[in-house]
Homo-oligomer: A and B are copies of this chain.
Amino acid sequence: MKTLLLICDGMADRPVPELANKTPLEIAKKPNMDWLAKRGICGLMDTIAPGVPPGSDTAHLALLGYDPYETYTGRGPFEAAGAGIELKAGDIAFRANYATVDDKLVVKDRRAGRIHGTEPLSAAVGEIKLKGAEFIFRSTVGHRATLVLRGDGLSHEVTDSDPHEEGKKPLQIEPLLHAPEQAVPAYPIIVGGVRKYVVRRRRAAKTARLLNDFSRKAYEILKTHPLNRERVKKGHPPANYILLRGGGIVPHLKPFHERFGIKGACVAAAALVKGVCRLAGMTVVDVPGATGGVDTDLDAKAKAALRALETHDLVLLHVKGFDEASHDGNARAKIGLIERTDAMLNQFIDMADFIAVAIDHTTPVSVRQHTSDPVPILISGPGVRADDVRTYGERSVAKGGLGWIRGKNLIPIIVDLMGKGIKFGA
Protein backbone atom coordinates (compact mmCIF):
# COMPACT_ATOMS: atom_id res chain seq x y z
CA MET A 1 0.00 0.00 0.00
CA LYS A 2 1.35 3.41 -1.01
CA THR A 3 0.17 6.76 0.32
CA LEU A 4 0.68 10.26 -0.92
CA LEU A 5 0.15 12.83 1.83
CA LEU A 6 -0.08 16.25 0.24
CA ILE A 7 0.38 19.10 2.71
CA CYS A 8 -0.63 22.50 1.40
CA ASP A 9 0.99 25.03 3.73
CA GLY A 10 -1.48 27.72 4.82
CA MET A 11 -3.97 26.90 2.01
CA ALA A 12 -7.03 27.21 4.29
CA ASP A 13 -8.57 30.66 4.63
CA ARG A 14 -11.57 32.63 5.89
CA PRO A 15 -14.42 33.97 3.74
CA VAL A 16 -13.09 36.91 1.69
CA PRO A 17 -15.57 39.78 1.14
CA GLU A 18 -14.03 40.51 -2.29
CA LEU A 19 -14.64 36.88 -3.28
CA ALA A 20 -18.38 37.03 -2.47
CA ASN A 21 -17.58 35.73 1.00
CA LYS A 22 -16.04 32.57 -0.32
CA THR A 23 -12.54 31.34 0.48
CA PRO A 24 -9.82 30.94 -2.18
CA LEU A 25 -10.23 27.17 -1.85
CA GLU A 26 -13.99 27.49 -2.36
CA ILE A 27 -13.47 29.66 -5.47
CA ALA A 28 -10.62 27.76 -7.14
CA LYS A 29 -11.23 25.14 -9.84
CA LYS A 30 -9.81 21.97 -8.35
CA PRO A 31 -11.41 18.99 -10.11
CA ASN A 32 -8.94 16.47 -8.72
CA MET A 33 -9.37 17.46 -5.09
CA ASP A 34 -13.15 17.47 -5.55
CA TRP A 35 -13.07 14.06 -7.22
CA LEU A 36 -11.01 12.72 -4.29
CA ALA A 37 -13.41 14.34 -1.80
CA LYS A 38 -16.34 12.56 -3.50
CA ARG A 39 -14.62 9.18 -3.39
CA GLY A 40 -13.08 9.72 0.03
CA ILE A 41 -13.81 10.68 3.58
CA CYS A 42 -13.49 14.27 4.78
CA GLY A 43 -13.35 16.22 7.99
CA LEU A 44 -11.91 19.14 9.90
CA MET A 45 -8.67 19.16 11.85
CA ASP A 46 -7.32 21.26 14.68
CA THR A 47 -3.64 20.77 14.01
CA ILE A 48 -2.69 21.54 17.63
CA ALA A 49 -5.84 22.45 19.57
CA PRO A 50 -8.92 24.63 19.06
CA GLY A 51 -7.99 28.29 19.28
CA VAL A 52 -4.22 27.71 19.02
CA PRO A 53 -2.58 29.13 15.87
CA PRO A 54 0.14 26.62 14.90
CA GLY A 55 3.71 27.50 13.99
CA SER A 56 5.19 25.72 10.99
CA ASP A 57 7.39 23.57 13.21
CA THR A 58 4.76 22.55 15.77
CA ALA A 59 2.22 21.94 12.98
CA HIS A 60 4.49 19.47 11.20
CA LEU A 61 5.43 17.72 14.42
CA ALA A 62 1.72 17.20 15.02
CA LEU A 63 1.10 16.11 11.42
CA LEU A 64 3.77 13.43 11.78
CA GLY A 65 2.02 12.11 14.89
CA TYR A 66 4.19 13.70 17.58
CA ASP A 67 2.53 15.73 20.32
CA PRO A 68 4.10 19.20 20.03
CA TYR A 69 3.43 19.89 23.71
CA GLU A 70 5.70 16.94 24.55
CA THR A 71 8.39 17.46 21.92
CA TYR A 72 8.71 21.17 21.14
CA THR A 73 10.73 23.69 23.11
CA GLY A 74 11.90 26.05 20.37
CA ARG A 75 12.55 26.35 16.65
CA GLY A 76 16.35 25.99 16.84
CA PRO A 77 16.57 22.17 16.63
CA PHE A 78 14.32 21.99 13.55
CA GLU A 79 16.22 24.73 11.73
CA ALA A 80 19.51 23.04 12.56
CA ALA A 81 18.24 19.65 11.37
CA GLY A 82 16.87 21.34 8.23
CA ALA A 83 20.35 22.77 7.58
CA GLY A 84 21.71 19.24 7.61
CA ILE A 85 23.43 19.24 10.99
CA GLU A 86 23.48 15.80 12.59
CA LEU A 87 21.84 16.24 15.97
CA LYS A 88 21.55 14.07 19.05
CA ALA A 89 18.64 14.06 21.47
CA GLY A 90 19.53 16.47 24.27
CA ASP A 91 21.55 18.87 22.09
CA ILE A 92 20.62 22.54 22.54
CA ALA A 93 20.20 24.34 19.21
CA PHE A 94 19.76 28.02 18.37
CA ARG A 95 18.96 30.05 15.30
CA ALA A 96 21.74 32.56 14.69
CA ASN A 97 22.14 35.75 12.66
CA TYR A 98 25.35 37.40 11.58
CA ALA A 99 24.87 41.01 12.64
CA THR A 100 26.78 44.28 12.61
CA VAL A 101 27.59 46.05 15.89
CA ASP A 102 29.52 49.28 16.38
CA ASP A 103 32.37 49.86 18.86
CA LYS A 104 29.87 50.36 21.68
CA LEU A 105 28.24 47.03 20.80
CA VAL A 106 25.08 48.67 19.47
CA VAL A 107 23.41 46.61 16.73
CA LYS A 108 23.47 48.63 13.51
CA ASP A 109 22.23 45.88 11.17
CA ARG A 110 20.63 42.63 12.35
CA ARG A 111 21.53 40.96 9.03
CA ALA A 112 25.02 42.43 8.39
CA GLY A 113 23.91 43.87 5.04
CA ARG A 114 22.27 40.54 4.11
CA ILE A 115 25.73 39.05 3.81
CA HIS A 116 26.36 35.89 1.74
CA GLY A 117 29.33 33.54 1.71
CA THR A 118 29.97 33.46 5.43
CA GLU A 119 31.64 30.04 5.48
CA PRO A 120 35.12 31.47 6.32
CA LEU A 121 33.52 33.19 9.33
CA SER A 122 31.76 30.05 10.54
CA ALA A 123 34.98 28.07 10.14
CA ALA A 124 36.79 30.55 12.41
CA VAL A 125 33.97 30.73 14.99
CA GLY A 126 33.67 26.94 14.83
CA GLU A 127 37.13 26.73 16.43
CA ILE A 128 35.86 28.13 19.73
CA LYS A 129 36.39 25.71 22.58
CA LEU A 130 34.90 26.27 26.03
CA LYS A 131 34.92 23.96 29.02
CA GLY A 132 31.46 22.55 29.72
CA ALA A 133 30.09 21.91 26.24
CA GLU A 134 30.99 21.19 22.65
CA PHE A 135 30.04 23.98 20.22
CA ILE A 136 28.98 23.31 16.63
CA PHE A 137 28.51 26.44 14.54
CA ARG A 138 27.44 26.37 10.90
CA SER A 139 26.48 29.02 8.34
CA THR A 140 23.22 28.21 6.54
CA VAL A 141 21.50 30.56 4.06
CA GLY A 142 22.54 34.20 3.63
CA HIS A 143 23.08 35.93 6.97
CA ARG A 144 21.73 32.94 8.88
CA ALA A 145 23.55 30.32 10.87
CA THR A 146 22.90 27.76 13.51
CA LEU A 147 24.60 27.01 16.84
CA VAL A 148 24.44 23.68 18.62
CA LEU A 149 25.64 22.98 22.17
CA ARG A 150 26.35 19.39 23.08
CA GLY A 151 27.16 18.08 26.54
CA ASP A 152 25.79 17.06 29.90
CA GLY A 153 23.75 19.29 32.17
CA LEU A 154 22.67 21.83 29.55
CA SER A 155 19.28 23.53 29.18
CA HIS A 156 17.15 25.32 26.61
CA GLU A 157 15.49 27.43 29.32
CA VAL A 158 17.47 30.59 28.56
CA THR A 159 16.65 33.90 26.91
CA ASP A 160 17.68 35.15 23.43
CA SER A 161 20.64 37.47 22.87
CA ASP A 162 18.90 38.89 19.78
CA PRO A 163 17.31 42.23 20.78
CA HIS A 164 14.99 41.82 17.73
CA GLU A 165 15.53 45.45 16.74
CA GLU A 166 18.37 47.67 15.69
CA GLY A 167 19.82 50.49 17.81
CA LYS A 168 19.99 48.26 20.87
CA LYS A 169 22.81 46.18 22.33
CA PRO A 170 22.73 42.40 22.17
CA LEU A 171 21.06 41.10 25.31
CA GLN A 172 22.84 39.23 28.05
CA ILE A 173 21.57 35.64 27.95
CA GLU A 174 19.80 34.77 31.21
CA PRO A 175 18.26 31.64 32.67
CA LEU A 176 14.51 31.75 32.02
CA LEU A 177 13.77 30.34 35.46
CA HIS A 178 13.79 32.53 38.51
CA ALA A 179 15.85 31.52 41.50
CA PRO A 180 13.86 28.89 43.40
CA GLU A 181 13.63 30.96 46.57
CA GLN A 182 11.87 33.65 44.53
CA ALA A 183 9.86 31.16 42.56
CA VAL A 184 8.30 29.18 45.37
CA PRO A 185 5.76 31.77 46.49
CA ALA A 186 4.97 32.88 42.94
CA TYR A 187 4.48 29.37 41.58
CA PRO A 188 2.96 27.29 44.36
CA ILE A 189 2.75 24.33 42.03
CA ILE A 190 6.18 23.65 40.51
CA VAL A 191 6.07 20.73 38.11
CA GLY A 192 8.21 17.93 39.44
CA GLY A 193 8.83 19.60 42.76
CA VAL A 194 11.42 22.04 44.06
CA ARG A 195 14.32 19.58 43.78
CA LYS A 196 13.87 19.13 40.04
CA TYR A 197 13.38 22.88 39.72
CA VAL A 198 16.74 23.56 41.37
CA VAL A 199 18.45 21.21 38.91
CA ARG A 200 16.75 22.88 35.95
CA ARG A 201 17.71 26.30 37.21
CA ARG A 202 21.37 25.24 37.66
CA ARG A 203 21.50 23.88 34.11
CA ALA A 204 19.95 27.04 32.68
CA ALA A 205 22.48 29.21 34.54
CA LYS A 206 25.39 27.13 33.22
CA THR A 207 24.06 27.26 29.65
CA ALA A 208 23.53 31.02 29.81
CA ARG A 209 27.09 31.52 31.05
CA LEU A 210 28.52 29.36 28.25
CA LEU A 211 26.50 31.21 25.61
CA ASN A 212 27.59 34.62 26.88
CA ASP A 213 31.24 33.45 26.81
CA PHE A 214 30.74 32.09 23.29
CA SER A 215 29.19 35.37 22.11
CA ARG A 216 32.12 37.38 23.49
CA LYS A 217 34.74 35.07 21.94
CA ALA A 218 32.92 35.08 18.61
CA TYR A 219 32.90 38.87 18.61
CA GLU A 220 36.66 38.95 19.28
CA ILE A 221 37.28 36.54 16.40
CA LEU A 222 34.89 38.22 13.96
CA LYS A 223 35.84 41.87 14.48
CA THR A 224 39.40 41.23 13.28
CA HIS A 225 38.61 38.55 10.69
CA PRO A 226 40.13 39.29 7.24
CA LEU A 227 36.74 38.86 5.54
CA ASN A 228 35.27 41.61 7.73
CA ARG A 229 38.31 43.89 7.25
CA GLU A 230 37.74 43.50 3.53
CA ARG A 231 34.02 44.34 3.92
CA VAL A 232 34.76 47.48 5.93
CA LYS A 233 37.29 48.56 3.31
CA LYS A 234 34.54 48.19 0.66
CA GLY A 235 32.03 50.09 2.78
CA HIS A 236 29.94 47.00 3.63
CA PRO A 237 28.76 46.40 7.20
CA PRO A 238 30.97 43.77 8.86
CA ALA A 239 29.44 40.53 10.16
CA ASN A 240 31.02 40.96 13.57
CA TYR A 241 28.41 39.67 16.01
CA ILE A 242 26.32 36.52 16.30
CA LEU A 243 22.78 37.03 17.60
CA LEU A 244 21.08 33.95 19.06
CA ARG A 245 17.38 33.14 19.31
CA GLY A 246 14.80 30.36 19.35
CA GLY A 247 16.79 27.97 21.53
CA GLY A 248 15.35 24.52 22.00
CA ILE A 249 16.36 21.08 23.12
CA VAL A 250 16.54 18.37 20.48
CA PRO A 251 13.71 15.99 21.38
CA HIS A 252 13.97 12.25 21.25
CA LEU A 253 11.48 11.42 18.50
CA LYS A 254 10.86 7.70 18.13
CA PRO A 255 11.64 7.23 14.43
CA PHE A 256 8.66 7.30 12.11
CA HIS A 257 9.23 3.77 10.74
CA GLU A 258 9.56 2.35 14.26
CA ARG A 259 6.43 4.08 15.48
CA PHE A 260 4.22 3.32 12.53
CA GLY A 261 5.87 0.35 10.84
CA ILE A 262 6.09 2.11 7.47
CA LYS A 263 8.88 3.85 5.58
CA GLY A 264 8.30 7.56 5.09
CA ALA A 265 9.89 10.12 2.78
CA CYS A 266 9.55 13.88 2.59
CA VAL A 267 9.64 16.11 -0.49
CA ALA A 268 9.79 19.75 0.63
CA ALA A 269 11.56 23.00 -0.08
CA ALA A 270 11.12 24.57 3.36
CA ALA A 271 14.14 23.86 5.57
CA LEU A 272 11.98 23.80 8.69
CA VAL A 273 9.72 21.05 7.29
CA LYS A 274 12.76 19.10 6.16
CA GLY A 275 14.20 19.50 9.66
CA VAL A 276 11.10 18.09 11.35
CA CYS A 277 11.01 15.13 8.92
CA ARG A 278 14.74 14.50 9.35
CA LEU A 279 14.45 14.47 13.17
CA ALA A 280 11.57 12.00 12.71
CA GLY A 281 13.95 9.73 10.81
CA MET A 282 12.25 10.08 7.42
CA THR A 283 14.11 10.12 4.11
CA VAL A 284 14.42 13.76 3.02
CA VAL A 285 14.59 14.24 -0.75
CA ASP A 286 16.27 17.37 -2.12
CA VAL A 287 14.60 18.79 -5.22
CA PRO A 288 16.39 21.37 -7.37
CA GLY A 289 13.86 24.00 -8.44
CA ALA A 290 11.76 23.69 -5.30
CA THR A 291 11.80 27.23 -3.96
CA GLY A 292 9.04 27.27 -1.37
CA GLY A 293 7.41 30.18 -3.25
CA VAL A 294 4.42 30.41 -5.57
CA ASP A 295 6.89 29.99 -8.49
CA THR A 296 8.12 26.63 -7.17
CA ASP A 297 8.72 23.86 -9.71
CA LEU A 298 5.69 21.73 -8.84
CA ASP A 299 6.46 19.31 -11.61
CA ALA A 300 9.94 18.59 -10.28
CA LYS A 301 8.50 18.04 -6.80
CA ALA A 302 5.84 15.70 -8.16
CA LYS A 303 8.44 13.69 -10.05
CA ALA A 304 10.59 13.42 -6.93
CA ALA A 305 7.56 12.32 -4.91
CA LEU A 306 6.63 9.69 -7.52
CA ARG A 307 10.17 8.34 -7.43
CA ALA A 308 10.15 8.28 -3.62
CA LEU A 309 6.86 6.34 -3.67
CA GLU A 310 8.66 3.48 -5.40
CA THR A 311 10.81 2.84 -2.35
CA HIS A 312 8.68 4.22 0.49
CA ASP A 313 5.22 3.48 1.89
CA LEU A 314 4.24 7.09 2.53
CA VAL A 315 5.49 10.25 0.87
CA LEU A 316 4.80 13.62 2.40
CA LEU A 317 4.73 16.19 -0.40
CA HIS A 318 4.84 19.70 1.02
CA VAL A 319 3.85 22.76 -1.03
CA LYS A 320 4.71 26.02 0.70
CA GLY A 321 3.66 28.84 -1.65
CA PHE A 322 0.06 29.21 -0.34
CA ASP A 323 1.44 30.54 2.91
CA GLU A 324 3.66 33.03 1.10
CA ALA A 325 0.74 34.30 -1.00
CA SER A 326 -1.35 34.62 2.17
CA HIS A 327 1.36 36.53 4.03
CA ASP A 328 1.32 38.91 1.05
CA GLY A 329 -2.50 39.15 1.21
CA ASN A 330 -2.64 37.96 -2.42
CA ALA A 331 -5.83 35.92 -2.91
CA ARG A 332 -5.36 35.70 -6.70
CA ALA A 333 -1.88 34.16 -6.38
CA LYS A 334 -3.29 31.75 -3.83
CA ILE A 335 -6.11 30.66 -6.12
CA GLY A 336 -3.64 30.21 -8.97
CA LEU A 337 -1.38 27.97 -6.91
CA ILE A 338 -4.37 25.94 -5.70
CA GLU A 339 -5.33 25.29 -9.34
CA ARG A 340 -1.76 24.37 -10.36
CA THR A 341 -1.38 22.09 -7.35
CA ASP A 342 -4.69 20.42 -8.16
CA ALA A 343 -3.53 19.76 -11.72
CA MET A 344 -0.25 18.34 -10.40
CA LEU A 345 -2.19 15.98 -8.15
CA ASN A 346 -3.70 14.20 -11.16
CA GLN A 347 -0.59 12.13 -11.84
CA PHE A 348 -0.78 10.52 -8.38
CA ILE A 349 -4.29 9.16 -8.80
CA ASP A 350 -3.14 5.93 -10.42
CA MET A 351 0.18 5.78 -8.62
CA ALA A 352 -0.84 5.79 -4.93
CA ASP A 353 -3.38 3.61 -3.13
CA PHE A 354 -4.26 6.37 -0.73
CA ILE A 355 -4.17 10.08 -1.35
CA ALA A 356 -4.62 12.37 1.64
CA VAL A 357 -4.86 16.14 1.29
CA ALA A 358 -4.15 18.12 4.45
CA ILE A 359 -3.27 21.65 5.43
CA ASP A 360 -0.98 22.53 8.34
CA HIS A 361 -2.84 25.68 9.40
CA THR A 362 -5.09 28.46 8.14
CA THR A 363 -3.39 31.63 6.89
CA PRO A 364 -6.18 34.05 5.89
CA VAL A 365 -5.23 36.55 3.21
CA SER A 366 -7.12 39.08 5.36
CA VAL A 367 -4.96 38.40 8.43
CA ARG A 368 -1.60 37.55 6.75
CA GLN A 369 -0.67 35.35 9.71
CA HIS A 370 -1.35 31.83 10.88
CA THR A 371 -4.70 31.49 12.63
CA SER A 372 -6.33 28.70 14.56
CA ASP A 373 -9.34 28.07 12.27
CA PRO A 374 -9.53 24.32 11.67
CA VAL A 375 -8.39 22.98 8.30
CA PRO A 376 -10.14 20.64 5.86
CA ILE A 377 -8.69 17.19 5.26
CA LEU A 378 -9.59 14.35 2.96
CA ILE A 379 -8.45 10.74 2.69
CA SER A 380 -9.25 8.77 -0.42
CA GLY A 381 -8.46 5.12 -1.04
CA PRO A 382 -9.72 1.55 -0.69
CA GLY A 383 -12.03 0.87 2.22
CA VAL A 384 -12.65 4.43 3.42
CA ARG A 385 -16.23 5.14 4.50
CA ALA A 386 -16.94 7.55 1.65
CA ASP A 387 -19.26 10.29 2.90
CA ASP A 388 -21.51 12.71 1.02
CA VAL A 389 -19.03 15.58 0.85
CA ARG A 390 -18.87 16.62 -2.84
CA THR A 391 -16.14 19.25 -2.75
CA TYR A 392 -12.99 19.94 -0.77
CA GLY A 393 -13.34 23.20 1.17
CA GLU A 394 -13.20 24.69 4.64
CA ARG A 395 -16.97 24.53 5.12
CA SER A 396 -18.01 21.67 2.85
CA VAL A 397 -16.04 19.09 4.84
CA ALA A 398 -17.55 20.13 8.18
CA LYS A 399 -20.22 17.43 7.95
CA GLY A 400 -17.86 14.76 6.60
CA GLY A 401 -17.33 11.31 8.00
CA LEU A 402 -13.93 11.96 9.53
CA GLY A 403 -15.51 14.39 11.95
CA TRP A 404 -13.14 16.56 13.85
CA ILE A 405 -9.64 15.34 14.56
CA ARG A 406 -6.36 16.68 15.89
CA GLY A 407 -3.21 16.90 13.79
CA LYS A 408 -1.56 14.08 15.70
CA ASN A 409 -4.47 11.74 14.80
CA LEU A 410 -3.96 11.98 11.03
CA ILE A 411 -1.02 9.61 10.48
CA PRO A 412 -2.42 6.91 12.81
CA ILE A 413 -5.72 7.02 10.86
CA ILE A 414 -3.90 6.74 7.51
CA VAL A 415 -1.60 3.99 8.79
CA ASP A 416 -4.56 1.97 10.00
CA LEU A 417 -6.31 2.34 6.62
CA MET A 418 -3.08 1.05 5.06
CA GLY A 419 -3.52 -2.11 7.11
CA LYS A 420 -0.74 -1.32 9.58
CA GLY A 421 -2.77 -0.07 12.53
CA ILE A 422 -1.15 -0.53 15.92
CA LYS A 423 -3.64 -2.14 18.27
CA PHE A 424 -3.67 -1.01 21.90
CA GLY A 425 -4.74 -3.92 24.04
CA ALA A 426 -5.39 -7.50 23.05
| A residues neighboring B (CB under 8 Å) | 14-15, 21, 23, 44, 48-59, 68, 72, 74-75, 89-90, 185-189, 192-193, 196, 246, 249, 252, 364, 366-367, 369-374, 383-387, 394-395, 398-401, 403-406, 409-416, 419, 421-426
Contacts and interface: CB of A to CB of B under 8 A. Distances in A.
22 contacts: A15-B383, A21-B386, A23-B385, A50-B412, A51-B409, A51-B411, A51-B412, A52-B421, A52-B423, A53-B422, A57-B426, A72-B424, A186-B252, A187-B252, A188-B252, A192-B193, A366-B383, A369-B423, A370-B423, A372-B416, A398-B399, A399-B399
A396 to B, nearest CB: 10
A213 to B, nearest CB: 24
A258 B107 CA distance: 30
A409 B313 CA distance: 35
B401 A398 contact: yes
Contact of A425 (B59, B366, B411): B59
Contact of A52 (B50, B419, B422): B422
A409 to B, nearest CB: 4
A252 B246 CA distance: 28
Nearest to A21: B386
B384 A421 contact: no
Given A51-B421, A54-B424, A372-B412, A401 B406 contact: no
Contacts of A385: 14-15, 23, 373, 394-395
A266 B3 CA distance: 42
A267 B44 CA distance: 35
A420 to B, nearest CB: 10
Contacts of A364: 383
A51 B367 contact: no
Contacts of A410: 51
Contacts of A90: 185, 188
Please name the 10 residue pairs, one residue from A and one from B, whose CB atoms are nearest each other, closest first: A55-B425, A51-B412, A58-B425, A50-B409, A75-B426, A51-B413, A53-B421, A53-B423, A372-B416, A403-B404
B50 A367 contact: no
A286 B375 CA distance: 41
A58 to B, nearest CB: 3
A72 B369 CA distance: 35
A133 B406 CA distance: 45
Nearest to A249: B188
B419 A367 contact: yes
Contacts of A192: 193
Contacts of A55: 423-426
Contacts of A426: 55-57, 74-75, 246
